[in-house]
A = this chain, B = another copy of it.
Amino acid sequence: MTSLARGPVGAQPPDGARPPGGTRESEGTGEPDGTGHPALRGLPAVWLRANCPCAGCLDPGSGQRRTAITDLPADVTVAEVLASDAAVEVIFGPDGHRAVFAPGWLARYGDPGGEAGAGPAGPGPDGPDDDRTEDAKCLWAAADLAGGIPQGWWPRYLADPEHRRACLSAVLSQGLVVLHEVPCEPGAVLAVTRSLGYVRETNYGRLFDVRAEPAAANLAFTRLPIAPHTDNPYRDPVPTIQLLHCLHTAAGGGDSTFTDGFRAAAVLREQDPAAFTCLTATPVTFAYTDAATVLRATGPMIGLDPRGRIRQIRLNGRSVAPVRLPAAQARAFYSAYRAFAGLAASPEAMVTARLAPGDCVIFDNTRVLHGRTGFADGGGGGASTGRRHLQGCYADLDGLASAVAVLARGRPGGAGQPGHDGQAGRAGS
């Protein structure tokens, strides 16, 4: 780093104050907005001004930005730079506004070498720019989980924050975890949900019972096998987390299946790029109707982010509505849909696990496809007669990710510390 001045720099220098020993210099690099000083790391004047950490721009109490983008001068320039190892002070033109940045913070967003900021695109210095796309995930095939799906133990989860963090992190990275030894009591799934976020109540209630019913409004509530799917694609927003807590196992069958839908989509992209593109570009409507409910939602089976990365899977053969497409496109769509569903159900992709009473699986419903084998219940329907019974609950990934980040605050170098996430004010002041 080119040090032009040394000495302490206060986060909020009074008007006219400058670091002792510091020198000012005007910009003359020919950049249209006056930027170009090596200490600025290639970050343009508007970027610096939009992220000014002074108390006038960024509320010290809340850490929120007070200054609207429309309040900034449209012709903002960098008029002067005063840099030391400890701070980079910028005087902006045309209005003389002043900002003080930490050099390391600028380096995380700009180019560490001081050239034009051409590092990995996207915000956030220390991780993927969007932690919900395939780039931020650990994709897996069945063989990768041959030793079992990620697991934890509810009593330890309650007692040990590090175990809790590890279990919940598995949902973010691999898409699922199973917690053993959750009490076999109706409603216990709500306690698990509350430990990681907030219940997403729906027309099915705060929790729902998955067991064979005489007049099922949903095939989930029968003994039929269910192909790999995401839940509730007829809802928007889709619940992004699902929990299933096993209270009783079936007399025979009823094994659970799980598939990494992101990986299945990535395999389709490799094997048949046209089919992949078709499923990313075709809006599909999913629908659910009962006496009290009419739900419809539309989206592609493979949702991408603006940079083309896999971000959300919607796959559910039970609720897909007829597509309205010209014949040739309809043929292409159903062919691509078949290929994707086939990959999702292939032995190479799909793991089968038998939940035991007390097991509660938590999974990312935007990514992990779940299903089950068909089953036979024992006679009588009582608790001890082999009648399969799961209780389910929906929640959302943002709350779970927040829980993980807060738990990580106590760890060395952990994410989630105030200011760590790139809020300019807390990181830069």
Q: Which residues of A contact B (CB under 8 A)?
A: 33, 35, 42-44, 46-47, 50-51, 59, 61-70, 72, 74, 109, 116-125, 129-132, 198-203, 215-219, 222, 224, 227, 234-238, 240, 280-285, 287, 289, 291-300, 305-307, 317-331, 334-335, 337-338, 341-342, 345, 396-399, 401-402, 405-406, 415-416, 418-419, 421-424, 426
Q: Give the nearest-CB partner of A291 in chain B.
A: B418
With A59-B216, A59-B219 already in contact, 17 other A-B pairs whose C-beta atoms are closer than 8 Å: A42-B327, A44-B327, A47-B327, A47-B330, A47-B334, A62-B216, A64-B218, A68-B345, A109-B322, A116-B327, A118-B326, A130-B285, A131-B296, A131-B298, A289-B423, A289-B426, A322-B424
Q: Is the CB of B203 within 8 A of A402?
A: yes
The answer to whether A122 touches B62, judged by C-beta atoms less than 8 angstroms apart, is no
Residues from chain B with a CB closer than 8 A to the CB of A130 are 283, 285, 298-299
Minimum CB distance partner of A309 in chain B: B283
Q: How many copies does the complex hold?
A: 2
Rank and list the top 6 A-B pairs by shortest CB-CB distance, nearest first. A237-B237, A294-B405, A130-B298, A123-B285, A64-B318, A198-B201
Residue of B298, B319, B401 touching A65 (CB-CB under 8 A): B319
Once the chains bind, are A123 and B321 in contact (CB under 8 Å)? yes
Residues of B within 8 Å of A319, CB to CB, are: 64-65
Q: A292 touching B406 by the CB < 8 A rule?
A: yes
User: Contact partner of A324 among B35, B129, B338, CB < 8 A?
Assistant: B129
Closest to A239 in B: B237
Residues of B within 8 A of A291 (CB): 418
